[in-house]
């Protein structure tokens, strides 16, 4: 590969041919601001904030798309460049609803940060925008186009998911982001994954909040409130309080939740283990009895809704298991209430999840209505801050009994390939007995599609893992065409899995464009798994007790009634 030599602000740097000025600048440790650019999502050069001076170029050029050349000299901070950026920011502000104090992105807004850095005057060009109606009919995502800065990162994220629920409409000054036929997101094939939310640099997209409802339940003397936290939250919640990406803050998180009020906090990793017991049993039953294969995982509500819209013929192939969220809520409103003499109507169940699609899942009638509220990681962080809790300096504590124990297999659910690996551990044990492998590293990693073949016992299993719905579509089409033949397929709607879910802490583009966010977060879960005394779901004593005292055995009649569900075809519009 040919190497290109150039200078960025006088700093020599060498990069492969075809690299952009922005990529070269990163190697030279020179920061160039961006707004529309987002690594792995969009690179179009439309916002014009990354303009620089470069020899051989006519005028200023967009660093994110302009290729380097031999001997090029680039200047990123000349008076002309700084003036251009400031003017661009001020023009953006002129059409932006500047309700910053109450904005969900206040103090964590990319536009706000740039405006401060470049001393932009917010009203230099006046305030020339219409207050557009807020679309809040979706159970998961709220859209406020009055704050939209037309970076189109949300559009690119939705296109990457192969959904296309939102896109640009009209031209020039009249251009807006909207849904086809001007309908609400609620009436589109939006799968509620929230990738548009984490891509948005401002507050034009955010989750539909359940915070007020949860605070109301906590102070209601007739309610007993229980929280449970999803596997990936431990690896991401710390980011909302300034801790490094990839910090395992589980102990502090549990302490913080208990300080919100008279509440209990349980470990959802436990029902990840429960999901594996049900799902692995279902898979082995299909293999032995000639059932529908491949079997697809069902713990991701974004993927399930995607299949209902676009591939309803696959519904019989999807595991009938509920997600860990819905399994836990069902167990709490039945087993837990019976054991402790609680009227289920008085138990208020709160899940803490990385995913905006889980908010949609809560409302699915076929799931029984056991979950009362689903809070994203961001919402939990807001509640902790509102309560005045000093998260960083908290002492660590443990989950409450009887749902405190979980295996490492349950923890890795939060990373793409984690559900597959957890299921393989238990399936391998059931087919091969003791000595079965604990780690299946071929299905690890943040690649969009992974496949492997394993021999477990006397059976050979071909498996595939896909994260991101664009990659899921590729795998499905390969299966439908007969090109690929798998026994088991894991699909997560969000690229990288739950650790990159639509409800995770906001991360500025400078961080997302610099580090492999998905890999660093996932590593925290794999480290947690490796250090856990329990590595397999079938080893979890709390799950064993649950079956012994209440459910009977995996896939029993009672288990099917509480822990399994059905799906149905949905129209695209």
Q: Catalytic one among 100, 196, 355, 498?
A: 498
- What confidence tens digit (pLDDT) does each residue in 227-243 have? 999 999 999 999 999 99
Locate the DSSP E strands across 307-366. 347-353
Average pLDDT of the chain is 95
Residue 265 bears catalytic tag:
no
- pLDDT band per the 50, 70, 90 thresholds, residue 546: very high
Choose the catalytic residue: 299, 355, 494, 536: 299
Dihedral sign from CA coordinates of 489, 495, 500, 502 = negative
Question: Which is catalytic among the residues 147, 358, 450, 518?
Answer: 358
Grade residue 31 by pLDDT with cuts at 50, 70 and 90: very high
Compute the distance between CA of residue 161 and CA of residue 469 in angstroms, rounded to an integer.
Answer: 5
Instruction: Assess whether pLDDT exceeds 70 at residue 435.
Output: no
373: part of which helix (H) or strand (E)? strand 373-376
pLDDT digits (tens, 9 = 90+) for 436-448: 678 899 999 999 9
Active site residue 510: no
Q: Is residue 279 annotated as a catalytic residue, yes or no?
A: yes
Catalytic position from the list 117, 338, 366, 544: 366
Catalytic residue among 282, 308, 326, 490: 282
14 strand-pairing partners: 5
Share of the chain above pLDDT 70, in %: 98
Q: Tell me which of 361, 379, 421, 539 is the catalytic residue.
A: 361
Reply yes or no on whether 498 is catalytic: yes
Per-residue model confidence as pLDDT tens digits over 42-61: 999 999 999 999 998 989 99
Residue spans of alpha helices (H) in 95-130: 110-117
Q: Give the integer Cα–Cα distance in Å for 127 and 137.
A: 28
Nearest to 542 by CA among 325, 151, 267, 248: 267
In the chain the domains, ranked by start, together with CATH numbers, are 3-77 (3.10.20.740), 90-207 (3.30.70.20), 211-270+326-393 (3.40.50.1780)
Query: Confidence class of residue 247 from pLDDT cuts 50, 70 and 90?
Result: very high
Considering 140, 319, 329, 537, which one is annotated as catalytic? 319
Catalytic, 319? Answer: yes
Catalytic residue status for 106: no
Predicted confidence at residue 380, as pLDDT, reads 98
Q: pLDDT: is 397 or 509 the higher one?
A: 397
Q: What is the pLDDT of residue 433?
A: 62
| Phi, psi values for residue 117, rounded to 5° | -65, -35
Please, which pLDDT band fits residue 456 given cuts at 50, 70 and 90?
confident
Is residue 148 among the annotated active site residues?
no
Catalytic residue among 279, 379, 421, 490: 279
The lowest-confidence range among 101-115, 116-130, 175-189 is: 116-130
355 among known catalytic residues: no
């Amino acid at each position: 590969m040919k190497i290109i030599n150039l200078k960025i602000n006088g700093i020599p740097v060498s990069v492969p041919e075809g690299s952009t000025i922005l990529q070269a600048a990163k190697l030279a440790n020179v920061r160039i601001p961006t707004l529309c650019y987002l690594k792995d999502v969009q690179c179009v050069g439309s916002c014009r904030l990354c303009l620089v001076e470069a020899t051989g170029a006519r005028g200023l050029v967009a660093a994110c798309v302009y290729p380097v050349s031999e001997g090029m000299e680039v200047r990123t901070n000349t008076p002309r460049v700084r003036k251009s950026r400031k003017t661009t920011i001020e023009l953006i502000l002129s059409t932006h609803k500047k309700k910053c104090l109450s904005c969900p992105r206040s103090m964590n807004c990319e536009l706000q940060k740039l405006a401060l850095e470049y001393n932009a005057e917010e009203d230099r060009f006046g305030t020339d925008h219409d207050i557009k109606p807020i679309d809040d009919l979706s159970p998961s995502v709220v859209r406020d186009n009055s704050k939209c800065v037309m970076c189109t990162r949300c559009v690119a994220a939705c296109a990457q998911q192969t959904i296309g629920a939102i896109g640009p409409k009209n031209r020039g000054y009249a251009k807006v982001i909207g849904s086809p036929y001007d309908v609400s997101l609620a009436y589109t094939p939006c799968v509620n994954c929230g990738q548009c939310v984490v891509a948005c640099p401002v507050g034009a997209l955010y989750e539909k909040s359940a915070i007020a409802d949860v605070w109301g339940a906590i102070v209601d003397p007739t309610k007993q409130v229980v929280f449970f936290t999803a596997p990936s939250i431990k690896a991401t919640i710390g980011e909302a309080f300034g801790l490094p990406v990839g910090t395992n803050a589980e102990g502090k998180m549990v302490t913080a939740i208990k300080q919100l009020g008279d509440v209990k906090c349980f470990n959802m990793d436990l029902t990840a283990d429960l999901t594996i017991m049900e799902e692995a049993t279902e898979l082995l039953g299909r293999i032995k009895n000639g059932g529908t294969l491949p079997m697809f995982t069902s713990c991701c509500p974004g993927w399930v809704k995607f299949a209902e819209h676009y591939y309803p013929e696959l519904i019989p192939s999807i595991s009938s298991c509920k997600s860990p969220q819905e399994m836990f809520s069902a167990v709490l409103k039945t087993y837990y209430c019976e054991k402790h003499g609680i009227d289920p109507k008085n138990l208020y169940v709160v899940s803490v999840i990385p995913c905006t699609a889980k908010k949609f899942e809560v409302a699915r009638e076929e799931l029984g209505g056991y979950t009362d509220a689903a809070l994203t990681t961001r919402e939990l962080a807001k509640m902790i801050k509102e309560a005045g809790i000093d998260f960083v300096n908290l002492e660590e504590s443990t989950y409450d009994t009887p749902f405190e124990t979980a295996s490492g297999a349950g923890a890795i659910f939060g990373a793409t390939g984690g559900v597959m690996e957890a299921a393989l551990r238990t399936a391998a044990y059931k087919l091969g007995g003791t000595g079965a492998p604990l780690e299946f590293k071929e299905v690890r990693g943040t690649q969009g599609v992974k496949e492997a073949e394993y021999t477990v016992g006397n059976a050979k299993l071909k498996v595939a893992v896909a994260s991101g719905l664009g990659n899921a579509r590729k795998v499905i089409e390969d299966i439908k065409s007969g090109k690929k033949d798998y026994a088991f397929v894991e699909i997560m709607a969000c690229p990288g899995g739950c650790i990159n879910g639509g409800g995770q802490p906001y991360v500025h583009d400078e961080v997302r464009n610099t580090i492999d966010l998905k890999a660093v977060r996932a590593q925290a879960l794999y480290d947690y798994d490796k250090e856990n005394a329990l590595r397999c779901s079938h080893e979890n004593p709390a799950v064993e007790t649950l079956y012994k005292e209440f459910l009977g055995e995996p896939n029993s009649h009672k288990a099917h009634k509480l822990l399994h569900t059905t799906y149905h075809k949905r129209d695209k519009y």
